[in-house]
Amino acid sequence: MSLLRVQGLFKAFAAIRAVDSVSFEVRPGEIYGLLGPNGAGKTTTISMISGLLKPDAGEVIVASTPFWSDPQKAKRIMGVVPQELAIYEELTGRENLEFWGAMAGLSSGEARSRTTELLEALTLTDRAKDAVKTYSGGMKRRINLGCALLHRPKLLLLDEPTVGIDPQARLNILEFIRNLRASGTAILYTTHYLEEAELLCQRIGIIDHGRLLAEGSLKELQDRLGGDRLFVLEAELKETSPDSWDGFRQRFRVIQKTERQLVVSAIGPRDPSECLKDLLGLPVRVENVMLKRPSLNDVFLQLTGRELRE
Ligand code: ATP
């Protein structure tokens, strides 16, 4: 049984199809990454899943129950960490967490002990009594995350939780999220950082212009490109169109072409040395050929024609 299933989710703002027929599921014990550039529709998707926005069409099913048939049940199951910080700067870290504990219906005793536990896990115990306005960006992000966890949600929705913080603070948050998964929380994680999706997620959905273009494990997505290697050719390519070269289209798929570089994958199971021979025989002056493992960036490139770089 999946903890979350979205089916044909659709939302338009005037002419913009912010989320266009998106379907996926988050299974128990996994971190599902929704990866896409700014404006791809990630926040709109999370807003519909958490009940902040009503979909124009489609359904959100939380633990087998449609969200809108029992929103209270869905909200008990999920915790939501918005991209914009939703914390009170004048209050201390402890007061912020206890406040959200009360909002989640915990008794004051429960809220206090759960807060102590979370402060520890978030490595914020020694700053618990300081006003949040004195925290660093990474510490604020951690408190923001903690606020969604008071009621021990089985499903956590995280909307770009590491935006705008330094690399060390980012690693800290990623580690915390990994531990949450290890303790049994299923997570929907939106990001525009390829590296986070690669490091963290068991399955990844690639979203662009509101549409889910592909999904699978990192390995499955890489396999879409035709195995575990890509060929990178450096040559004077300018106006040439590789697909017009004799026999090229039958043997190679173009992942990216610039004036100086051509990235291709081989079609079908082929010996790399054969491929190299084919590539060196192309009707351009090849200066260099390299082999590399396909990255998630290459998958994104092939699907959208654009780079998704940090
Ligand atoms: P970001 O990381 O920049 O927030 P995103 O992937 O979360 O990007 P969304 O915020 O979901 O993307 O936006 C998807 C599209 O919908 C964008 O084109 C955005 O401009 C548009 N959009 C989102 N919310 C609204 C709104 N309330 N009114 C009008 N357009 C909106």
Q: 176-202 pLDDT, tens per residue?
A: 999 999 999 999 999 999 999 999 999
195 by DSSP, 3-state: which? helix
Report the nearest-CA residue for atom 28 of ligand 1.
13
Measured in degrees and rounded to the nearest 5, phi and psi for residue 191 equal -160, 155
Closest atom, ligand 1, to C-alpha of 207 = 6
Centre of ligand 1 from the C-alpha of residue 41, in Å: 6
Q: For residue 19, give the ligand 1 atom closest to its CA.
A: 14
User: Which residues approach ligand 1 with their CB closer than 6 A?
Assistant: 13, 16, 18, 36, 38-44, 160
Interior angle at CA 271, CA 270 and CA 275, nearest 5: 85
pLDDT score, position 285? 87
Instruction: State the distance from the centre of ligand 1 to the C-alpha of 299, rounded, in angstroms.
Output: 23
Question: In the chain, where are the structural domains located?
Answer: 4-221, 229-292
Residue owning the nearest CA to atom 19 of ligand 1 = 39
163 Cα nearest atom in ligand 1: 2
Distance of alpha carbon 226 from alpha carbon 205, whole angstroms: 18
| Ligand 1 atom closest to 159 (CA) | 7
Could you tell me the distance, in angstroms and rounded to a whole number, from the CA of residue 45 to the centre of ligand 1?
A: 10
Tens digit of each residue's pLDDT (9 = 90 or more) over 145-178: 999 999 999 999 999 999 888 888 899 899 999 9
Distance of CA 4 from the midpoint of ligand 1 (Å): 22
Residues 6+ apart with CB under 8 A from 293: 222, 228, 229, 230
Q: Distances in Å between the alpha carbon of 267 and those of 118, 218, 247, 260?
A: 50, 19, 12, 22
Closest-CA residue to 63 (of 76, 80, 47, 82): 76
Predicted local distance difference test score (pLDDT) of residue 245: 87
CA count, 13 A, side-chain hemisphere, 161: 33
| Phi, psi (rounded to 5 degrees) for 186 | -85, 145
- For residue 95, the Cα-to-chain-centroid distance in whole angstroms is 30
What the block records as the tokens of 63 is 């633990």
Least confident of 8-17, 101-110, 222-231, 261-270: 222-231
Quote the CA–CA distance of 96 and 86 in Å, as a whole number. Answer: 10
CA quadruple 252, 255, 256, 260: dihedral positive or negative? Answer: negative
Distance of CA 163 from the midpoint of ligand 1 (Å): 16
The third-level CATH classification (topology) of the domain covering 229-292 is Alpha-Beta Plaits (3.30.70)
CA of 92 to the centre of ligand 1 (A): 32
Q: Label residue 72 by pLDDT band (50, 70, 90).
A: very high
In this structure, the residue with its CA closest to atom 25 of ligand 1 is: 13
* The overall pTM is greater than 0.85: yes
| Residue nearest atom 16 of ligand 1, based on CA coordinates | 18
6 forms bridges with which residues in the sheet? 24, 60
CA 204 to ligand 1 center in whole angstroms: 20
Residue 279: is its pLDDT beyond 80?
A: yes
Angle in degrees, CA 278, 228, 232, rounded to 5: 45
- For tokens 């896990």, what's the residue? 121
CB atoms within 10 A of CB 27: 14
The pLDDT of residue 309: 65
Alpha carbon of 38 to ligand 1 centroid (Å): 8
Per-residue pLDDT at 3: 93
Q: 4-221 belongs to which homologous superfamily?
A: P-loop containing nucleotide triphosphate hydrolases (3.40.50.300)
Asked whether residue 310 carries a pLDDT value surpassing 60, the answer given is no
